[in-house]
Amino acid sequence: MHKILVVDDEENIRFLYKEELEDDGYKVTVAATAEEAMKKILEDKPDVITLDIKMPGMDGIEFMRKLKEERKDIPVILCSAYGRFKQDFRVWASDAYVVKSADLSELKLTIKEVLGEVEPK
Amino acid sequence: MKDNSQGLKIFQEITRIANSTLDIDEILEKIIEVIQSKLHIDACAIYIADDNHKQFKLKAAIGLPKDTAQFIQLELGKGVTGWVAEHHKTLALSDAHNDPRFVYFPEIEEEKFNAMLSVPIMVDKQCIGVINIHNEDQREYSDLSIFMMETIASQVSGCIRNAMLFNKSQMLLKEQTILYDISLAVQTSTQLEHGLWIILSGVTMGEAGGFNRAMVFIINESTNTLRGFMGLGPDSSEDAFRIWTRWGRKKKNMLQWVVQQAEKEEYKNSTFNQFVQGLNFPIRPNENILVETVLQKTSFNVTDADNHPLVSEDFKQALQANAFATVPLIAHKEVLGAILVDNRYNNNPISDEQLRLLTRFATHAGWVIENSRLFTKLLDTNRELLSTREQLVQSEKLAALGEISAEVTHEIKNPLVSIGGFARRLENSINDLFKKYENEKELEKIAGYSKIIRSEVSRMEKLLTNILNYSKAGTLQRAPCNINELIEEAVFLFKSGFYMKDIAIHFELEKNIPPLSLDKTQVKQVLINLFFNAMESMPSGGSLTIKAYPETYVGGQKIITLSIEDTGGGIPQDIYENIFNPFFTTKSTGTGLGLSISRKIIEMHGGTIRVENSIGQGVQVYLHLPLQNCPD
C-alpha cells in the first residue's frame, strides 16, 4: 500500500484529499505546515507528497527546494489554486504540477503516474 | 659735407614716411618720390616678391611707362634684378647693357638707361624685394649713393615687415570675428541643417574661407557609410560669376548679412547640393580620400588630383576639380564626418593658411552636428520616457485589477474545492445508499440536490479559470533579448537623474549571456521601477551596482540573475515587510504598485524577484530569470 503525504494549510482540503485518497486505497497522512511535513516525512516515509504552494510560513516551493536538496527520491506533486506558478522556473524541479479542482481525477491520475502505476500521458 | 646733410635730409624724410602710415603701397609711392627728387636719377622701381619668393612684381615706379610696367614680373635669378634677389647683394653697373646678367625688358624701355643700381630688400635673411634706380648716362654710383640706397632699402624692409605683421594681425582679427559671428549664429540654432548651412556659407564666402565650393559628409552609423549631407557652391562658372558679383556689392560684414538675410532655402534646389546629397560611400579602408579623412582623422590638401594615390579616377571625375582639401569633423574625439572644399572655378591653390582656417570651421561644424545629435537624442529620450510613463500608468491600472482578481480568486478557489469535493462525495454516498434502499425516494431527491451543488461549483471553477486565463492572456510578447543591452537602455533613461544626484553606476555585466525570451517592454519597466526606487533612496549621492550573470538552480536549471545594489541605507523593517503588497507606498505620488507589478511581470516570465535588505547599508534586489522557456 502506497503512502501519501498531503501538505495543505486548509483543513477542509486536507480532509477532502485524505477521504478521497483513502477510498482509492492509499495510506494518507496530512500536514498543515512545511515544518510539520518535514516531521511526517521522517516518521511515515511517504511514497508521494502532494504539496500546496501558498502556505503561511515557508511556502511550498521553498519547502520543495529544501526537500529536493536532501531527498531527491520522493516525488512531489505541487498543487495550487491557480496555474500561474506553472511558469515559475522553481516549480520545474517538482515531479508534477496540478491545479486544484473539486474534481480530483487529475490529481489521482498524476499520483498514479509518479508512482509508475500508469504510463504518463 | 653737402652730401652728408643731403643724406640726412633724405633719411629724415624717409623715416617720416615710414612712420606715417601702414599702407605699404602708399609708403612705396612716397619713398620713390623722395628718391627721385633728392638723388637725381631718371627712374626708380621697387619690386616685391610673391609668397614663394620666386616671382617679383613691380609695386611702385617712377620714370617708367606706367601702363606696361605694372605687368612686369621678374623671376628669381633672371636678369640683373633676379641676380640681386638671388645673391642678396647690391649691384652697381655703369653700363648695364653690357653686363652678362642683363636681360632686356622692352616694357620698361630699358634701352635708354645705361647705368643701374640694384639693391635687395632683406627681411630675416630672405630677399623680399629689390629697389632699382636707373640713369640714362653711364655713371659710376658713388659709395655714398650705394650706402644711401642700402639704408633706404633697410627702411623699406622695416616698413614691409610691419605691414606684413599688420596684415597678418588684421587677418587673424577678421578670422576671429568671423568665427565669433559663426559661433553666435550657430548657437541660436539646434537645427542641424541651418547650423551647417551657416558654416558652409562662412567656408565659401570671399572674406572668410573663400573656397569656391564646400560640402559636408556625415557618418551614418547604422549603414556604416559616409553620406553627402549638404553642398554649397555655384552650379557653373556663370553661376559663380553671378553670385560673386552680387555678394561683392555687399562688402561690409557679409557674414551677418548672409546669416540674417540670405535665402536659406535657396541652396537646396541647386544641382550641386543635390549632387552632394546623392553621394554615399561605404566606410572601409581604400575606399576614397574622403573615407580616409574619416578613418585616419586627418586632413588632406590635394594639390594635384591626377597624381594623388588616394584619389581615384571616378572620384576625380565626380568632383571635376584638380585641387581640393578635406578635413574631418570631430567632436569629443569622435569623428562625425568630413568637409570637402575646392576651388573649381577660379582654380586658386589651397594654402596651408586656408586649410588651417577650414579646420577651425570644421571644429564648429563638429559641434553643430554633435549638438543637434544630442538634441535629437534628448527629444527621443523624452518621448520614450513619456510613453514609458504612460505605459506604466496603464499597466499599473491593469495590475491593480489583476492583483485584486488574483487575491479574490485564490480566496474563493480553496473553499470552492472543498465544497465541490465534498458535494461529489455526498452525491456518491447518497447514490450508494440509494442502491441499498431503492424505495427511499427522498434519497433520490437529496442526490439531485448535491448533484446541483457539484455542477454549480464546477461552473464557478470554470469561471474562475477563465478570469485568470483572461487576465494572463496576451500580456507577454516574448522575443529573444540581450539582457545587458536592456539594462543599458533602462539605465540610459536615468543618466541625468543619477548624474544630478551624484550617484555612481558600476556595471558588472558578464559578457556572452545567451539571449533570453522576454517581453522587452515589460522587463524594461521592472528595471525602470527598480532603478527609480534605488535613485529615490539615494537623494544625496551613493553608488548603484548592476550585475548580470548566469547561475544554476536546483535540478540543474540554468537561470540568469540580475542584481541591483544601492547604498541608500536600506528599508526600515516595518516597511520592508510590506514592499510587495499592492497599494502599499511611502511616496506621496506613488500608487504602491511598482514592486508588486514588477514581481508579477517577473513571475509571468517564470522568474522570481528577491530583496535583501541591509539596514544602514542598502538594498540588493535579485531578479532570477529562467534561461530556457518553461516546459509547457
Task: Give the distance from residue B574's alpha carbon to the nearest chain A alpha carbon, in angstroms.
Answer: 17
Establish if A13 belongs to a structural domain. yes
* Closest residue on chain A to B457 (Cα): A102
**Structural contact between residues B551 and B624, judged by C-beta atoms closer than 8 angstroms:** yes
How far apart are alpha carbons B288 and B314 in whole angstroms? Answer: 10
Within a domain: residue A80?
yes
- What are the backbone dihedrals phi and psi of residue B4, each rounded to the nearest 5 degrees, phi first? -60, -50
Residue B368 contacts by C-beta under 8 Å, 6 or more apart in sequence?
B186, B189, B192, B195, B196, B199
Asked whether the beta carbons of residue B421 and residue A86 sit closer than 8 angstroms, the reply is no
Distant-in-sequence, close-in-space partners of B559: CB < 8 Å, separation ≥ 6: A89, B550, B551, B552, B553, B607, B624, B625, B626, B627
The CATH class that applies to domain B479-626 reads alpha beta
B178-369 and B479-626 in the same fold: no
Which pLDDT does position A14 carry in this prediction?
95
Residues of A in contact with B421 (CB under 8 A): 13, 16, 20, 102, 104
Instruction: Enumerate the residues of chain B whose CB falls inside 8 A of the CB of residue A15.
Output: 418
Taking residue B555's Cβ as centre, other Cβ atoms within 10 Å add up to 15
User: pLDDT exceeding 90 applies to what percent of chain A?
Assistant: 59
Q: What is the model's pLDDT at position B525?
A: 84
Q: Which residue from B414, B458, B557 is facing A103, i.e. has the nearest CB?
A: B458
Contact state of A92 with B419 under an 8 Å Cβ cutoff = no
In a domain, A25, yes or no: yes
Domain presence at residue A49:
yes
CATH dotted code for B4-170: 3.30.450.40
Contact present, B520 and B476 (Cβ < 8 Å): no
pLDDT tens digits, B29-66 = 888 888 888 888 888 989 988 877 888 888 888 888 77
DSSP alpha helices (H): ranges in B437-567? 441-472, 483-500, 520-537
The angle, 0 to 180 degrees and rounded to 10, between the axes of the packed helices A11-23 and B352-436 is: 60
The secondary element (H helix, E strand) that includes residue B208 is none
- Compute the distance between CA of residue B191 and CA of residue B51 in angstroms, rounded to an integer: 41
Measured in angstroms, the CA of A20 and the nearest CA of chain B are apart by 8
Ranges of chain B whose pLDDT falls below 70: 1-4, 68-70, 108, 186-190, 206-209, 241-265, 395, 398-399, 403, 468-475, 581-593, 629-632
Using DSSP's 3-state secondary structure scheme, residue B39 falls into helix
- A59 CB neighbours in chain B (<8 A) are none
Instruction: Please report, for chain B, the start and end positions of each structural domain, with discontinuous segments joined by +.
Output: 4-170, 178-369, 379-471, 479-626
Partner residue facing B468 (CB), from A15, A83, A89: A83
CB contact under 8 A, A69 and B415: no
Asked if A1 has any chain B CB less than 8 Å from its own CB, the reply is no
Mutation for testing the B interface, residue in A87, A97, A104, A108 having most B CBs under 10 Å: A87
Residue A89 lies in a domain: yes
Type of residue numbered B120: P
Q: Supply B420's cell numbers.
A: 465541490
Contact A103 B424 (CB under 8 A): yes
Which residue in the set A16, A93, A101 is minimally distant from B554, CB to CB? A93
Query: Residues B593-623: pLDDT tens digits?
Result: 678 778 888 888 888 888 999 988 999 999 9
Whether residues A102 and B461 touch (CB distance < 8 A) is answered with: yes
From CA B453, how far away is CA B138, in angstroms rounded? 145
Written as one string, the DSSP assignment of B271-335 is HHHHHHHT-EEE-STTS-HHHHHHHHT--EEES-GGG-TT--HHHHHHH--S-EEEEEEEETTEE
pLDDT of residue B424: 92
With an 8 Å Cβ cutoff, is A18 touching chain B?
no
A112 located within any domain: no
- Cα(B625)–Cα(B454) distance, rounded to whole angstroms? 40
Pick B416's closest partner by Cβ from A83, A87, A102: A102
CA nearest to A87 within chain B: B606
Report domain B178-369's class: alpha beta
A70 Cα to chain B: minimum distance (Å):
11
Q: Which of B424, B554, B604, B630 to mutate to test the interface with A (most CBs of A within 10 A)?
A: B554
CATH, domain B379-471, list 1.10.260, 1.10.287, 1.10.10, 2.60.40: 1.10.287
Do A59 and A41 meet the contact criterion of CB atoms below 8 Å apart? no
Indicate yes or no: CB of B424 within 8 angstroms of CB of A19.
no
Residue B498 C-alpha cell reads as: 543619477
Chain B nearest CA to A87, separation (Å)? 4
B390 to chain A, closest Cα gap in Å: 26
User: E-assigned strands of B584-630?
Assistant: 608-614, 618-626
The total number of structural domains in chain A stands at 1
Question: Where in the sequence is the domain holding A22, given as residue range(s)?
Answer: 3-101
Local mean pLDDT, 10-residue blocks, chain A (121 residues): 94 94 95 94 94 89 88 90 70 83 92 87 66
Chain B residues with beta carbon closer than 8 angstroms to that of A103: 420, 424, 458
- Residues A88, B410: C-beta atoms closer than 8 Å: no
A45 CA: distance to closest CA in chain B (Å): 22
Res B327: pLDDT: 92
Inter-chain touch B608–A89, beta carbons under 8 Å: yes
Chain A residue nearest residue B420, CA to CA: A102
Helix B143-187 / helix B352-436 crossing angle, nearest 10 deg: 20
Q: Residue B523: what are its φ and ψ, rounded to 5°? A: -65, -35
What is the C-alpha to C-alpha distance for residues A108 and A86, in angstroms, rounded to an integer? 19
Q: In terms of DSSP bridges, do strands B55-62 and B73-75 run parallel, antiparallel, or are they unpaired?
A: antiparallel
pLDDT computed for residue B632 by the predictor: 46
CA distance B485 to chain A (A): 23
Residues contacting A5, CB < 8 A, separation 6+: A28, A29, A30, A31, A37, A40, A41, A44, A46, A48, A49, A50
Q: Do B607 and A88 touch (CB under 8 A)?
A: yes
The DSSP line for B382-416 is HHHHHHHHHHHHHHHHHHHHHHHHHHHHHHHHHHH
Q: Domain holding A66: CATH number? A: 3.40.50.2300
- What does DSSP say about strands B503-509 and B334-342: parallel, antiparallel, or unpaired? unpaired
How many Å apart are CA B204 and CA B254, to the nearest integer?
A: 12
Q: Assign B134 to helix, strand or coil.
A: strand
Residue A109 domain flag: no
Pairing verdict, β B608-614 and B618-626: antiparallel
Q: Is residue A85 part of a domain?
A: yes
Q: What ipTM, to 2 d.p.?
A: 0.87
Residues 49-78 of A with CB under 8 A from B: 54, 65, 68-69
Residue A102 to residue B472, Cβ atoms within 8 A: no
Cβ of B630 within 8 Å of Cβ of A100? The answer is no
Residues in chain A with CB shorter than 8 Å from the CB of B631 are 92
Chain B residue with CA closest to A52: the answer is B414
Provide the number of CB pairs (under 8 Å) joining chain A to chain B: 99
- Per-residue pLDDT, B254: 58
Note whether B414 contacts A20, CB cutoff 8 Å: no
* A20 vs B contacts (CB less than 8 Å): 421, 425
Sheet containing B91-93, strands listed edge to edge, beginning at the edge strand earlier in sequence: B73-75, B55-62, B43-49, B126-135, B115-123, B91-93
- Which of helix, strand or coil describes residue B229? strand
CB distance A89–B603 less than 8 Å? Answer: no
